[in-house]
Amino acid sequence: MTEEHLLREPHHDGSALFVDAPASLGDRVPVRVRVPAGRAERGVHLRQVRDGEPHVVEARLDRADEHERWYVAELDVHNPVTSYRFLLDEPDGYRWLNGTGLHARDVPDAADFRVTVHGSPPAWARDAVVYQVFPDRFARSGGERPVPDWAEPAAWDDEPVHVGPSTPRQLYGGDLAGIEQRLDHLERLGVDVLYLTPVFPARSNHRYDASTFEHVDPVLGGDEALASLARAVHARGMRIMGDLTTNHTGDAHEWFARATSDPTSEEAGYYLYEHGAHVGWLGHASLPKLDHRAPGLARRLVDGPDSVVARWLREPFALDGWRIDVANMTGRYRDTDLTHEVARRVRRTLEATNPDALLVGEHFHDATDDLLGDGWHANMNYSGFSRPVWSWLAPPDGGRRALGLPVPQPRRPGSAMAATMREFAAAVPWTVTAHQWNMLGSHDTARIRTVLGSREAVDVAVGLLMTYPGTPLVFAGDEVGATGEDGEHARVTMPWDRPDRRDDATFRTYRDLVAVRRASTALRRGGMRWVAVGDDAVVFLRETPDERVLVAVARAPWDGVDLPGHLAADVSTLHGPDVERRGGALRVPGTGPSVGIWRLR
């Protein structure tokens, strides 16, 4: 049985095909909705919320042909974040169109479309492919480096310890000069943003327990090594981003040492205390939590040109932005919630120092409330991408633990994956959806090869990663088939001199699909229209005013789908099997596991 397509439903998204981006409060922005010719709507209205009150205006018919009708209405950008949806008056009753689709019932405002006046991330971020490096595990330069007293040196081919006290102490000796020597690998892969997990001195291999924010860890080569790496990255036309923890420091941090030695010091106010003891992040005493009510902390960490945030964005380091560790917990404790205020301050300093810099938060679950304002540009999209993709492509017997949960990961149908993606995307402005960092795994998760169990399943996952709206992030090693049972175990070294540990076919898949994305404006900047959703396959369109690309990803053989022939006079295959013409229709083949990408002219 052939899958039914969804192109009979009206469609709108926040991309340039449907919305003229607002510049400021008071703008009147045309917003458009396309309605297939087969519907019998008597009219279309725009419902927006102004100052908390719904307001409905009629949309006018803008253009029509034998296949569809386009309606347009003026959206009054009356609030910094303005929400709206469309009302279709149909013979059997009215329907609402919002970010999760068409509804023949009343729905809450949570999934309404949104425009924001808070500005967009830098233009380069929309086209980027990010490569995450855990510095200790990527490459050794061969230079002499100090071995700190907390470290347990490891041979490069040793398996990472991931249980017990040695887990954060195992040190392989990767350094920043080693990364610089391997930049050719990043260019061959096609990525153009290098994101480094923390480089500040610490007492662990992950360095999220910084002992100072003033210098680069000598174990990594010190300040000059970062400056040299940044110069080399920029010379290749690439960008480099750092990782900053605004939620806590390590207990060896110079601020905390001052706070504990002198309770009357300014630094004593930088940390949270309860029942006579400092508060540790998630109960870890070694990670004292910062108190963002302290004016001195704001000045030194996030505010102004002399802050930590600003200093590393300037020469000689010139970082192109920050990823903020545990952004969801920054400034939050019991009855204190300063998260949005901290995010605004960080972004204000970022834009004042380098207007072309990017700010991404880490949030493992629902980040909706933290992404509506003028703080983080985007989020590491575990909930809206990683989790649903894992669940759809999990092995039939499941078995492995679900991401962050104490239960096995079930294998779910494509409809569940698509519904989850739509719900999370609908909860934030399109400009956020279009810049979310989508990933198949990171230094905090199991490796995607271990989760899915086969190269074929990973290939399908990479197809989704490179074609879904947002910014793809590749964790170093995934592109050569690295494995790992959990976040710590996944922090394996790169197998530069071990061809037996490299999967060259997986590398070619990543490289080829990165290249397909790079060659398509629609895949980098287009809207998102679901076309068909079945148990074993999903099909969608990415569209700009100048390009239309069709994507089909399948975890197993399926029935295929016939699409209206008017979608394209000509079809060119960018990746995967060819599309057939059958009786005037476009036949998407039911092959699988597979990734098919086609440009429709």
243 residue type, one letter: D
421 residue type, one letter: M
CA angle 212, 213, 216 (to 5 degrees): 90
Phi, psi angles (nearest 5°) of residue 392: -75, -35
For residue 4, the model assigns a pLDDT of 78
Task: Work out the average pLDDT over 377-385.
Answer: 97
Contact between 139 and 494 under an 8 Å Cβ cutoff? The reply is: yes
Catalytic one of 325, 370, 423, 503 = 325
User: Across all residues in the chain, what is the average pLDDT?
Assistant: 96
Q: Give the pair of three-digit tokens for residue 315.
A: 């020469």
Torsion sign over Cα 476, 240, 324, 82: negative
For residue 398, the model assigns a pLDDT of 73
pTM of the model: 0.97
Q: Could you give the CA distance from residue 171 to residue 155 in angstroms, rounded to a whole number?
A: 9
Q: Assign 584 a pLDDT band (cuts: 50, 70, 90).
A: confident
**Is 325 designated active site?**
yes
Q: Could you give the CA distance from residue 191 to residue 180 in angstroms, rounded to a whole number?
A: 14
Strand-pair category, 471-475 with 130-133: parallel
The string of pLDDT tens digits covering residues 543-572 is 999 999 999 999 999 999 999 999 988 999
The string of pLDDT tens digits covering residues 123-146 is 999 999 999 999 999 999 998 888
Residue 183: C-alpha distances to residues 126, 177, 229 (Å): 22, 10, 9
Residue 112 has pLDDT above 80, yes or no: yes
Task: Work out the average pLDDT over 500-521.
Answer: 97
Q: Give the pair of three-digit tokens for residue 80.
A: 């910094």
The string of pLDDT tens digits covering residues 28-44 is 999 999 999 999 999 99
Give buried/exposed letters for 578-591 (b at 16+ CB in 10 A, else e). ebeeeeebbbbbbb
Domains, in order of start, for the chain: 28-116 (2.60.40.10), 524-600 (2.60.40.1180)
Contact between 238 and 194 under an 8 Å Cβ cutoff? The reply is: yes
For residue 525, the model assigns a pLDDT of 97
What torsion do the CA atoms of 531, 533, 537, 543 make, to the nearest 10 degrees? 20
The string of pLDDT tens digits covering residues 446-500 is 999 999 999 999 999 999 999 999 999 999 999 999 999 999 999 999 999 999 9
Task: Work out the average pLDDT over 338-352.
Answer: 97
Task: Work out the average pLDDT over 70-96.
Answer: 97
Task: Work out the average pLDDT over 395-413.
Answer: 87
> Which residues face 90 on adjacent strands?
93
> Which residues face 242 on adjacent strands?
322
Task: Work out the average pLDDT over 212-232.
Answer: 98
For residue 304, the model assigns a pLDDT of 92
4 residue type, one letter: E
Residue 59: C-alpha distances to residues 26, 34, 85, 519 (Å): 19, 12, 12, 36
For residue 247, what is the DSSP state?
Answer: S
Task: Work out the average pLDDT over 497-508.
Answer: 95
Q: Assign 3 a pLDDT band (cuts: 50, 70, 90).
A: low
Contacts of 598 (CB under 8 A, 6+ apart): 549, 550, 551, 571, 572, 573, 574, 579
Q: Is 467 helix (H, G, I), strand (E, B) or coil?
A: helix
Contacts of 63 (CB under 8 A, 6+ apart): 69, 70
Q: Could you give the CA distance from residue 586 to residue 596 in angstroms, rounded to a whole number?
A: 13
Phi, psi angles (nearest 5°) of residue 242: -105, 180
18 closest CA partner among 371, 437, 525:
525
- Percent of the chain surpassing pLDDT 70: 99
Of all residues in the chain, what percent are helix, strand and coil, respectively (each to 5)?
25, 25, 45
How many CA atoms are closer than 13 Å to the CA of 419, on its beta-carbon side? 8
Match 């290749």 to its residue by tokens.
Answer: 236
Residue 400 has pLDDT above 90, yes or no: no
Residue 327: Cβ within 10 Å count? 28
**Is 51 designated active site?**
no
For residue 1, the model assigns a pLDDT of 35
147 residue type, one letter: V
Q: Could you give the CA distance from residue 599 to residue 542 in angstroms, rounded to a whole number?
A: 10
For residue 133, the model assigns a pLDDT of 98
Q: Could you give the CA distance from residue 496 to residue 25 in angstroms, rounded to a whole number?
A: 53
For residue 24, the model assigns a pLDDT of 87
Q: Could you give the CA distance from residue 428 to residue 294 in angstroms, rounded to a whole number?
A: 31
Catalytic one of 362, 478, 503, 543 = 362
